[in-house]
Amino acid sequence: MGIEVVVEGLTKSFGKQNIWQDVSLTLPAGEVSVMLGPSGTGKTVFLKSIIGLLKPEQGRVLINGVDMVNSPERDIMETRKLFGLMFQDGALFGSMSLFDNIAFPLREHTRKKESEIRRIVMERIDIVGLLGAEGKLPGEISGGMRKRAGLARALVLDPQIILCDEPDSGLDPVRTAYLSQLLIDLNAQIDATMLIVTHNLDIAASVPDNMGMLFCRNLVTFGPREVLLTSDTPVVSQFLAGRREGPIGMSEEKDAATLAAEQQADTVPLPTGPRTVVPQLEPSPGMPVRQGALRRRERVMSMMGQLPEAARTAILDSYAPAAGGARA
């Protein structure tokens, strides 16, 4: 089963530039979470801070009692073995076959025999649908296949926490849909805690149990997916609708004068009323039941009284028998 990740008061700057401040959230064990945000809001920096590759100035990241910010480097390095990290570009070695790329962590960090390494690697290659391509070089395959090879490599050490940095970048909508299903199936198979950083709205709407959003150096919200998907917060509404009208500008947030001018202009009617929350993806036929989804249902139902009405309605609708049974 995956491991809970507790983030408390995290603040990160580069020189005088504050990236984000006082970020606090909990990634529930074995559940799939997504962190949204416009380009340049520090989503990748957040991932690297969770795994201890970057050091925030303030706050803690607690995993199994180890603080990935302040604990001794020895403890951080040991805890890092619990992670699998999928990079934006796959981060594959161009001169090595897919098999050798995926085997690399096992050869680097374990003393397993080559026969055992081969068994593990071929299992992971099968899981991500790359059987038959293991002898190819990264330059000989498509971007989508490189993504899946990067995911297979992230899985070889049996991680309990998987971090995916924009897994959809460079993929067309069809390949993104396949990847979304693969991530849900993977969660059903290994029950790992997963955090996906993306600005892809299709992944955000259909994959996660929980969603958060970074904007303007702050965590706007984090919680059950229905809270963000039904939110009427201006920055959330603008992002989910993909509109120009709202606080998000081309390079950074808009100033007050620009926002005021937009609000006075009535040329573009803004949508009103609650947004439709699309059903969450279910594991493919033949896959096990997602244990994270079962835990999530119990957890969310216990916190209904703290949630906005629109989110409560969406949650109850998703769990209604007519919605296809026990969704999460």
The amino acid occupying position 152 is A
Which of 266 and 39 is assigned the larger pLDDT? 39
* pLDDT band at 229; cut points 50, 70, 90: very high
**Which helix (H) or strand (E) is 86 found in, with range?**
strand 83-86
Tell me if 259 is assigned to some domain: no
Tell me if 95 is assigned to some domain: yes
The predicted model gives 78-101 an average pLDDT of: 88
Taking each helix axis from N to C end, the angle separating 173-190 and 143-155, rounded to the nearest 10 degrees, works out to 10
Q: What is the mean pLDDT of the chain?
A: 88
Strands 193-197 and 32-36: parallel
Which contacts (CB < 8 Å, 24+ apart) does range 114-123 have?
120/156, 121/152, 121/156
* pLDDT band at 109; cut points 50, 70, 90: confident
What confidence score (pLDDT) does residue 6 get? 98
Tell me if 33 is assigned to some domain: yes
Best CA proximity match to 90, nearest among 142, 150, 137: 150
pTM of the model: 0.88
CATH number (domain holding residue 175): 3.40.50.300
What confidence score (pLDDT) does residue 107 get? 93
Q: 3-class SS at 23?
A: strand
* pLDDT > 70: percent of the chain: 89
Residue 67 near residue 11 (C-beta atoms within 8 A): no
* pLDDT > 90: percent of the chain: 62
d(CA 197, CA 217): 16
pLDDT in tens, 274-321: 467 889 999 999 999 999 999 999 999 999 999 999 999 999 999 987
Tell me if 319 is assigned to some domain: no
Tell me if 148 is assigned to some domain: yes
What confidence score (pLDDT) does residue 239 get? 86
The predicted model gives 43-48 an average pLDDT of: 92
Q: Is the pLDDT of residue 61 over 70?
A: yes
CA dihedral 292, 105, 123, 48 (to 10 degrees): 30
User: 2-6, 56-60, 260-264 — which is least confidently predicted?
Assistant: 260-264
317 φ, ψ (degrees, to nearest 5): -65, -40
d(CA 183, CA 167): 10
Best CA proximity match to 313, nearest among 273, 283, 256, 282: 273
Tell me if 276 is assigned to some domain: no
| Number of compact structural domains in the chain | 1
Q: Is the pLDDT of residue 221 over 70?
A: yes
Tell me if 260 is assigned to some domain: no
- Domain residues for the domain of 36 are 5-231
* pLDDT band at 238; cut points 50, 70, 90: confident
Tell me if 287 is assigned to some domain: no
CA end-to-end span of the chain: 17
